Protein backbone atom coordinates (compact mmCIF):
# COMPACT_ATOMS: atom_id res chain seq x y z
CA UNK A 1 0.00 0.00 0.00
CA UNK A 2 2.84 2.33 0.92
CA UNK A 3 4.67 1.59 -2.32
CA UNK A 4 1.51 2.33 -4.33
CA UNK A 5 1.13 5.81 -2.66
CA UNK A 6 4.74 6.77 -3.31
CA UNK A 7 4.57 5.88 -6.98
CA UNK A 8 1.24 7.59 -7.68
CA UNK A 9 1.40 10.65 -10.02
CA UNK A 10 -0.11 12.93 -7.38
CA UNK A 11 2.52 12.01 -4.79
CA UNK A 12 5.29 12.49 -7.36
CA UNK A 13 3.92 15.95 -8.24
CA UNK A 14 3.79 17.00 -4.57
CA UNK A 15 7.32 15.69 -4.05
CA UNK A 16 8.44 17.68 -7.09
CA UNK A 17 7.16 20.89 -5.47
CA UNK A 18 8.49 20.15 -1.99
CA UNK A 19 12.16 19.86 -2.93
CA UNK A 20 12.52 23.19 -4.81
CA UNK A 21 10.18 24.83 -2.29
CA UNK A 22 12.39 23.71 0.58
CA UNK A 23 15.48 25.07 -1.20
CA UNK A 24 13.82 28.43 -1.87
CA UNK A 25 12.24 28.82 1.57
CA UNK A 26 15.26 30.39 3.38
CA UNK A 27 15.78 32.97 0.62
CA UNK A 28 12.05 33.75 0.47
CA UNK A 29 11.93 34.15 4.26
CA UNK A 30 14.75 36.73 4.20
CA UNK A 31 13.16 38.48 1.21
CA UNK A 32 9.82 38.71 3.01
CA UNK A 33 11.40 39.84 6.29
CA UNK A 34 13.82 42.48 4.96
CA UNK A 35 12.11 43.65 1.74
CA UNK A 36 8.34 43.11 1.68
CA UNK A 37 7.63 43.60 5.38
CA UNK A 38 9.40 47.03 5.47
CA UNK A 39 7.53 47.92 2.27
CA UNK A 40 4.15 47.10 3.85
CA UNK A 41 5.13 48.90 7.08
CA UNK A 42 6.16 52.01 5.11
CA UNK A 43 2.86 52.00 3.22
CA UNK A 44 0.94 51.70 6.50
CA UNK A 45 3.00 54.44 8.18
CA UNK A 46 2.34 56.86 5.29
CA UNK A 47 -1.28 57.19 6.50
CA UNK A 48 -0.23 58.26 10.00
CA UNK A 49 1.30 61.32 11.63
CA UNK A 50 4.14 60.27 13.93
CA UNK A 51 7.15 62.12 15.37
CA UNK A 52 9.10 58.90 16.15
CA UNK A 53 8.70 59.57 19.91
CA UNK A 54 4.97 59.47 20.58
CA UNK A 55 3.76 55.95 21.52
CA UNK A 56 0.58 56.31 19.45
CA UNK A 57 0.73 57.43 15.81
CA UNK A 58 -2.26 59.54 14.68
CA UNK A 59 -4.32 58.42 11.68
CA UNK A 60 -4.43 61.21 9.05
CA UNK A 61 -5.45 59.31 5.91
CA UNK A 62 -4.15 60.89 2.69
CA UNK A 63 -3.08 64.15 4.34
CA UNK A 64 0.64 63.34 4.11
CA UNK A 65 0.37 62.64 0.37
CA UNK A 66 -1.61 65.82 -0.29
CA UNK A 67 0.81 68.01 1.70
CA UNK A 68 3.81 66.53 -0.13
CA UNK A 69 2.29 66.91 -3.59
CA UNK A 70 1.38 70.56 -2.80
CA UNK A 71 4.79 71.43 -1.33
CA UNK A 72 7.51 73.35 -3.14
CA UNK A 73 10.33 71.23 -1.73
CA UNK A 74 8.96 68.00 -3.24
CA UNK A 75 8.76 69.33 -6.80
CA UNK A 76 12.15 71.01 -6.37
CA UNK A 77 13.63 67.67 -5.24
CA UNK A 78 11.86 65.92 -8.13
CA UNK A 79 13.35 68.34 -10.65
CA UNK A 80 16.80 67.97 -9.11
CA UNK A 81 16.44 64.16 -9.29
CA UNK A 82 15.81 64.49 -13.03
CA UNK A 83 18.90 66.68 -13.37
CA UNK A 84 21.03 64.17 -11.44
CA UNK A 85 19.68 61.32 -13.58
CA UNK A 86 20.30 63.05 -16.93
CA UNK A 87 23.88 63.96 -16.01
CA UNK A 88 24.48 60.44 -14.69
CA UNK A 89 23.21 58.94 -17.94
CA UNK A 90 25.70 61.05 -19.89
CA UNK A 91 28.62 60.27 -17.57
CA UNK A 92 27.81 56.68 -16.61
CA UNK A 93 26.21 55.29 -19.76
CA UNK A 94 27.30 57.21 -22.86
CA UNK A 95 30.89 57.86 -21.73
CA UNK A 96 31.72 54.30 -20.53
CA UNK A 97 30.00 52.95 -23.68
CA UNK A 98 32.38 54.86 -25.92
CA UNK A 99 35.37 54.18 -23.65
CA UNK A 100 34.66 50.43 -23.64
CA UNK A 101 34.46 50.40 -27.45
CA UNK A 102 37.73 52.27 -27.83
CA UNK A 103 39.52 50.00 -25.36
CA UNK A 104 38.09 46.74 -26.73
CA UNK A 105 38.48 47.43 -30.45
CA UNK A 106 41.00 50.21 -31.02
CA UNK A 107 43.61 49.97 -28.24
CA UNK A 108 46.05 47.13 -28.76
CA UNK A 109 48.64 47.50 -25.98
CA UNK A 110 48.12 47.92 -22.24
CA UNK A 111 44.45 46.90 -22.14
CA UNK A 112 44.72 45.22 -18.71
CA UNK A 113 46.43 48.29 -17.25
CA UNK A 114 43.74 50.66 -18.53
CA UNK A 115 40.94 48.34 -17.33
CA UNK A 116 42.42 48.20 -13.82
CA UNK A 117 43.01 51.96 -13.77
CA UNK A 118 39.42 52.73 -14.81
CA UNK A 119 37.89 50.20 -12.40
CA UNK A 120 39.98 51.32 -9.39
CA UNK A 121 37.58 54.05 -8.09
CA UNK A 122 34.78 51.47 -7.88
CA UNK A 123 36.44 49.75 -4.92
CA UNK A 124 36.39 52.97 -2.88
CA UNK A 125 33.42 53.90 -0.72
CA UNK A 126 31.36 56.94 -1.61
CA UNK A 127 32.36 58.53 1.70
CA UNK A 128 36.04 58.36 0.72
CA UNK A 129 35.23 59.68 -2.75
CA UNK A 130 33.31 62.58 -1.19
CA UNK A 131 36.29 63.53 1.00
CA UNK A 132 38.66 63.39 -1.99
CA UNK A 133 36.41 65.68 -4.04
CA UNK A 134 35.91 68.02 -1.08
CA UNK A 135 39.63 68.75 -1.38
CA UNK A 136 39.54 68.89 -5.20
CA UNK A 137 36.62 71.35 -5.15
CA UNK A 138 38.12 73.61 -2.47
CA UNK A 139 37.60 77.16 -3.85
CA UNK A 140 40.90 78.49 -2.39
CA UNK A 141 43.38 75.60 -2.34
CA UNK A 142 41.74 72.96 -4.53
CA UNK A 143 43.60 71.84 -7.69
CA UNK A 144 40.48 72.19 -9.89
CA UNK A 145 40.10 75.92 -9.26
CA UNK A 146 43.89 76.40 -9.34
CA UNK A 147 43.96 74.90 -12.84
CA UNK A 148 41.02 77.05 -13.97
CA UNK A 149 42.69 80.21 -12.66
CA UNK A 150 45.90 79.19 -14.44
CA UNK A 151 43.94 78.95 -17.70
CA UNK A 152 42.28 82.31 -17.06
CA UNK A 153 38.82 80.75 -16.58
CA UNK A 154 36.31 81.58 -13.80
CA UNK A 155 36.69 79.37 -10.73
CA UNK A 156 33.25 78.99 -9.10
CA UNK A 157 32.59 77.76 -5.54
CA UNK A 158 31.43 74.34 -6.73
CA UNK A 159 29.57 73.15 -3.64
CA UNK A 160 27.94 76.46 -2.67
CA UNK A 161 26.93 77.70 -6.11
CA UNK A 162 23.28 77.14 -7.12
CA UNK A 163 24.12 76.35 -10.73
CA UNK A 164 27.19 74.17 -10.17
CA UNK A 165 26.40 72.11 -7.08
CA UNK A 166 24.37 69.39 -8.87
CA UNK A 167 26.97 68.74 -11.62
CA UNK A 168 29.72 68.78 -8.96
CA UNK A 169 27.96 66.18 -6.80
CA UNK A 170 27.02 64.06 -9.81
CA UNK A 171 30.65 63.88 -10.91
CA UNK A 172 31.52 62.28 -7.54
CA UNK A 173 28.90 59.55 -8.01
CA UNK A 174 29.86 59.07 -11.65
CA UNK A 175 33.56 58.74 -10.75
CA UNK A 176 32.67 56.03 -8.25
CA UNK A 177 30.27 54.09 -10.57
CA UNK A 178 32.05 54.59 -13.90
CA UNK A 179 34.36 51.58 -13.54
CA UNK A 180 31.58 49.07 -12.83
CA UNK A 181 29.49 50.20 -15.81
CA UNK A 182 32.60 50.22 -17.97
CA UNK A 183 33.42 46.59 -17.10
CA UNK A 184 29.82 45.44 -17.74
CA UNK A 185 29.71 47.18 -21.14
CA UNK A 186 33.20 45.92 -22.01
CA UNK A 187 32.07 42.34 -21.31
CA UNK A 188 29.14 42.85 -23.68
CA UNK A 189 31.41 44.22 -26.44
CA UNK A 190 33.94 41.40 -26.10
CA UNK A 191 31.07 38.94 -26.73
CA UNK A 192 30.32 40.50 -30.14
CA UNK A 193 31.40 37.95 -32.81
CA UNK A 194 34.78 38.91 -34.24
CA UNK A 195 33.74 37.54 -37.64
CA UNK A 196 31.20 40.37 -38.04
CA UNK A 197 33.84 42.99 -37.23
CA UNK A 198 36.34 41.49 -39.66
CA UNK A 199 33.69 41.25 -42.40
CA UNK A 200 32.81 44.92 -41.91
CA UNK A 201 36.49 45.90 -42.12
CA UNK A 202 36.86 43.97 -45.36
CA UNK A 203 33.99 46.10 -46.67
CA UNK A 204 36.04 49.17 -45.60
CA UNK A 205 33.57 50.23 -42.90
CA UNK A 206 34.86 52.98 -40.58
CA UNK A 207 35.22 52.47 -36.81
CA UNK A 208 32.17 54.66 -36.26
CA UNK A 209 30.10 52.60 -38.71
CA UNK A 210 31.21 49.37 -37.00
CA UNK A 211 30.23 50.80 -33.62
CA UNK A 212 26.89 52.19 -34.72
CA UNK A 213 25.65 49.37 -36.99
CA UNK A 214 27.20 46.27 -35.38
CA UNK A 215 28.44 46.79 -31.81
CA UNK A 216 25.63 49.07 -30.58
CA UNK A 217 22.71 46.79 -31.64
CA UNK A 218 24.42 43.61 -30.39
CA UNK A 219 25.18 45.17 -26.99
CA UNK A 220 21.80 46.88 -26.57
CA UNK A 221 20.72 44.34 -23.90
CA UNK A 222 23.78 45.18 -21.78
CA UNK A 223 23.27 48.90 -22.36
CA UNK A 224 19.65 48.62 -21.22
CA UNK A 225 20.77 46.94 -17.99
CA UNK A 226 23.31 49.72 -17.35
CA UNK A 227 20.66 52.35 -18.11
CA UNK A 228 18.22 50.88 -15.58
CA UNK A 229 20.92 50.50 -12.92
CA UNK A 230 22.09 54.08 -13.51
CA UNK A 231 18.58 55.50 -13.15
CA UNK A 232 17.53 53.41 -10.13
CA UNK A 233 20.78 52.91 -8.19
CA UNK A 234 22.84 55.90 -9.35
CA UNK A 235 20.22 58.40 -8.22
CA UNK A 236 20.34 56.86 -4.73
CA UNK A 237 24.15 56.86 -4.65
CA UNK A 238 24.06 60.66 -4.83
CA UNK A 239 22.66 60.67 -1.28
CA UNK A 240 26.07 60.18 0.36
CA UNK A 241 27.83 63.17 -1.29
CA UNK A 242 24.77 65.34 -0.63
CA UNK A 243 24.67 64.46 3.05
CA UNK A 244 28.43 64.77 3.58
CA UNK A 245 29.21 67.87 1.51
CA UNK A 246 26.14 70.12 1.17
CA UNK A 247 23.35 68.74 3.40
CA UNK A 248 20.92 69.64 0.64
CA UNK A 249 22.10 73.25 0.30
CA UNK A 250 22.57 75.95 -0.66
CA UNK A 251 18.86 76.75 -0.19
CA UNK A 252 17.84 73.16 -1.15
CA UNK A 253 19.74 73.49 -4.43
CA UNK A 254 21.16 69.95 -4.17
CA UNK A 255 18.23 68.09 -2.54
CA UNK A 256 16.90 65.07 -4.41
CA UNK A 257 13.97 62.76 -3.59
CA UNK A 258 16.04 60.30 -1.54
CA UNK A 259 17.59 63.06 0.56
CA UNK A 260 14.17 64.71 1.01
CA UNK A 261 12.87 61.46 2.54
CA UNK A 262 15.85 61.45 4.91
CA UNK A 263 15.17 65.07 5.88
CA UNK A 264 11.50 64.42 6.63
CA UNK A 265 12.37 61.45 8.84
CA UNK A 266 15.57 62.42 10.68
CA UNK A 267 15.75 66.22 10.49
CA UNK A 268 12.06 67.13 10.92
CA UNK A 269 10.91 63.90 12.67
CA UNK A 270 7.89 63.56 10.36
CA UNK A 271 7.97 59.81 9.88
CA UNK A 272 4.53 59.62 8.25
CA UNK A 273 5.42 62.25 5.67
CA UNK A 274 8.77 60.54 5.02
CA UNK A 275 6.95 57.25 4.43
CA UNK A 276 4.51 58.96 2.03
CA UNK A 277 7.42 60.54 0.13
CA UNK A 278 9.09 57.11 -0.05
CA UNK A 279 5.92 55.55 -1.49
CA UNK A 280 5.63 58.34 -4.11
CA UNK A 281 9.30 57.84 -5.04
CA UNK A 282 8.70 54.10 -5.33
CA UNK A 283 5.80 54.75 -7.70
CA UNK A 284 7.97 57.08 -9.82
CA UNK A 285 10.79 54.56 -10.14
CA UNK A 286 8.23 51.78 -10.71
CA UNK A 287 6.85 53.83 -13.59
CA UNK A 288 10.34 54.08 -15.08
CA UNK A 289 10.72 50.29 -14.87
CA UNK A 290 7.32 49.83 -16.54
CA UNK A 291 8.39 52.22 -19.29
CA UNK A 292 11.61 50.26 -19.75
CA UNK A 293 9.65 47.00 -20.00
CA UNK A 294 7.05 48.23 -22.48
CA UNK A 295 9.01 50.62 -24.68
CA UNK A 296 12.78 50.26 -24.54
CA UNK A 297 12.97 46.45 -24.59
CA UNK A 298 11.26 46.33 -28.00
CA UNK A 299 14.45 47.53 -29.66
CA UNK A 300 16.84 45.39 -27.64
CA UNK A 301 18.72 42.42 -29.09
CA UNK A 302 18.96 39.27 -26.93
CA UNK A 303 21.09 36.37 -28.15
CA UNK A 304 18.66 33.76 -26.80
Radius of gyration of the chain, Cα coordinates, nearest whole angstrom: 25
Residues 101 and 174 occupy one common structural domain? yes
* Strand ranges, E, within 64-160: none
Residues 222 and 196 occupy one common structural domain? yes
Residues 25 and 113 occupy one common structural domain? no
CA angle 302, 187, 98 (to 5 degrees): 95
Any domain includes 91 = yes
pLDDT digits (tens, 9 = 90+) for 166-182: 999 999 999 988 999 99
Q: How many residues does the chain have?
A: 304
CA distances to 133, 170, 194, 200 from 219, rounded to whole Å, are: 33, 26, 14, 17
Residues 69 and 116 occupy one common structural domain? yes
Output phi, psi for 47, to 5 deg.
-100, 10
- CB distance 223 to 215 below 8 Å: no
pLDDT of residue 225: 85
Any domain includes 167 = yes
pLDDT of residue 42: 93
pLDDT of residue 222: 86
Residues 20 and 121 occupy one common structural domain? no
pLDDT of residue 1: 47
Residues 288 and 219 occupy one common structural domain? yes
**Number of domains the chain is built from:** 2
pTM: predicted TM-score of the whole model, two decimal places = 0.83
Any domain includes 41 = yes
Partners of 59 in the β-ladder = 48
**For the chain, which residues score pLDDT lower than 50?**
1
Any domain includes 77 = yes
Any domain includes 3 = no
Residues 24 and 112 occupy one common structural domain? no
Closest by CA to 232, choosing from 169, 295, 285, is: 285
Residues 139 and 25 occupy one common structural domain? no
pLDDT digits (tens, 9 = 90+) for 67-105: 999 999 999 999 999 999 899 989 988 999 999 989 887
Residues 166 and 219 occupy one common structural domain? yes
pLDDT of residue 39: 92
CA angle 122, 123, 127 (to 5 degrees): 85
Domain interval for residue 117: 63-299
Any domain includes 51 = no
Residues 15 and 163 occupy one common structural domain? no
Residues 156 and 34 occupy one common structural domain? no
Any domain includes 280 = yes
Any domain includes 71 = yes
What do you get for the CA distance between the two ends of the chain, in Å?
47
CATH number of domain containing 242: 1.10.3720.10
Residues 239 and 121 occupy one common structural domain? yes
Amino acid sequence: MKIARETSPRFAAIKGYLVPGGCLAPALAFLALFTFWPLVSTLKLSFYQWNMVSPTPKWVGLTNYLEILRSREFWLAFWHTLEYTLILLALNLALPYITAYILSRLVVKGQNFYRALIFLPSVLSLAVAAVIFLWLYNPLAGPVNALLRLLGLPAPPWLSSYGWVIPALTVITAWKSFGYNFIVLLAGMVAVPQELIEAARLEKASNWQIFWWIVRPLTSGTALYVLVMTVIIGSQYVFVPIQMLTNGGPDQASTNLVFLIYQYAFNFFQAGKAAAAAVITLVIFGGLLFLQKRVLEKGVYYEN
